[in-house]
Structure 1
Amino acid sequence: TRGVYQDNSEKCHTSNFGSLYSMVLPGKRKPEEPGTGGTAKPKEVLRYLEEHAYMGGVFLWTFMDYYGEPAPFRWPGISSQFGITDTVGFEKDSFYYYQSRWTETPMVHVFPHWNKEGLTIDQGVTEVRIFSNCHTVELFLNGKSFGKKKNDKDGLSWRIPYEPGCLKAIGVKEEQTIEATRKTSGPTDSVTVKERFCGADYSLFEIQGIDSEGIEVPTADELVAVLVKNGTILGLANGDPADLDGYNCQEKKLFSGKLMAIIKKEPGKVPLIQAALKKVE
């Protein structure tokens, strides 16, 4: 489930660190049991491809979550969970694994988010993972280095003491340096809107919850009201696999901080979109 790092059967959420729910066996299982975390894990897929040189490529099921087959859960789950993106098209962490394996432009992706809420912290320590195609990656928390590691194609992992602040990964590839950060946020104060796609007839707008300092809130779940001029709202969607509120609407909750608005344009006009948090009485 995008942006989620703990299994939660009541919410139909699975952890991006590897769910213990199985696609083929009932209930929560042990890590080595069949189907836990999916039946075709990204690393296993690419490892199989490498070991069979006669293969020309792989077919990934699926790129995007879809409605139906809510395994490993049932109602109120209504969508699959094994896509590389959610039902809206927002990228999950596994998206960046494939990016690190299939692209040359230097990239670094660090996860999880850095809000204490939703993390598994054991005796003050939590796990950090990185996908990158750089030669080396160094991890920092609030300016303190936790070591530089030679990159592994399957990703890197650290266990570090949790403290709020700024988590930063710096990757080096030849003469290029690139970084990625995760910052602890405060409560959701407002939202930002940016256009993700502009077509001839339709546009997609990403709505993101932010705190009073402009930091993205990765756990935001507040209700957002959306208005549009020079267009029509065809739907609002958030990627929550158990969202039962419908899509033909003008307000919807953020999920893991985000929401997508699908807008049909009026001919010859540029759609103007306005989004704001809505107070629930």
Structure 2
Amino acid sequence: MPVIRHLLSALAVGALLAATAAAAAPPRRVVSINLCTDQLALALADPGQIAALSYLSRLASLSFLAGNATAFRIVRGTAEEVLKIAPDLVLAGAYSSASTRMVLAAHGVPTATFTPVTTVAEARAEIARAAALLGHPERGARLVSEIDRALTEAALPPGPPVLALQMQRRGFASGRETLIADLMRRLGIVNAADALGVVSVERVPLEVALKARPDLLILQDEDRPPADQGAALLSHPALAAVVPPQRRAFLPYREITCAGPALPAAIRRLSGEVRRIRAAIAADR
């Protein structure tokens, strides 16, 4: 227990230092050690402010702004390598190494920790917070306005409700306390996972998913031969019989994992796919 108390105390010190830094001059050497804070730094900071990003920032399958990240140094996220850069602000995620954050706090490095968001409202708040920390609140306001504009433009016209199920490898489905579920609600899409009792991201047996009989299956990868057993479930003939290929939508991982600059693109893509699926359902009937 003393170790846990020491850890929590150190993390609190890091957060206090970050809050103090936000009230001072904009940081000049920002290091991000998290995929989602990478996106926020790339979207909201001046290029000259960014000292390093996480190694995930360059992976196009995960990072929405991977192309922009190639100009910057990358780090694995250890305290030793971060300290060598002498940052005046570190952006971290709630699942970034707690020991790294504790060491940074012990060395007086301001560290701001961002938690995964589950709603658009939370996304707006985290964007505004990051923009303020980086000294560019107006950029945060512009990104929030872009998200709101995308939601307005993506509003679906009146029509029959679409029952959708978002599924990932190994049968994991997204329940009501996830960002994709909030986007569904805002666009008027019924989340089939609600009736299944799924709250966060939970594994749903194939037979249970089949009984839900969704109109639309939202996947993260385009149709391709499964590379392993985890992906094979999504190609199961029984699932194809209930939700044929023409009623599957694809929302790339890089657009939905981090609720930052990718969010407008995810909103527009999801709305477009639902419009397409509605037409397919109407044709089937």
Report the TM range for the smaller structure's normalisation: under 0.3
Q: Structure 1 or 2: larger helix share?
A: 2
* TM-score computed with the length of structure 1 as normaliser: 0.25
Q: Which has the higher contact order (CA 8 A, sep 6+)?
A: 2
